[in-house]
Structure 1
Amino acid sequence: SLQPSEITVSQGADLSVVGVGFCPQDNVVRLDDYPFQGVVVSPNEVRVKLGPNVLGGTYQVGVQNSNGQRFGVVLRSDLRVHNGCPYNCSGNGYCNGLTDRCVCSAGYTGADCSQSNQSVCPNGCGGNGICDTQNRRCICLHGFIGADCSQRGMTCLNDCSRHGKCDTNTGTCKCSFFHCGNDCSKRWPLCR
Structure 2
Amino acid sequence: MSISLVFESTSLYHNTISCETHGIRYQISRGSDDVVTIKRWDPKTDLMSSVYELKLPYFTKDMYRKPGEATWLPMRQLLQKAGNNPLSNTKAFHGSGGLEYRWETLDRKVLLFAGSQSSPEPSPIAWYNWSHTRGELSSLEIADLSILPSLDIIILTFVVFEKSRRDRHRRRHGNVFSALMI
TM over 0.5: same fold? no
Q: Smaller-chain TM-score range?
A: under 0.3
TM-score by length of 1: 0.21
Under a length normalisation based on structure 2, what TM-score does the superposition of the two structures give?
Answer: 0.22
Higher relative contact order, chain-length normalized (CA < 8 Å, sep 6+):
2
Q: Which has the higher helix share?
A: 2
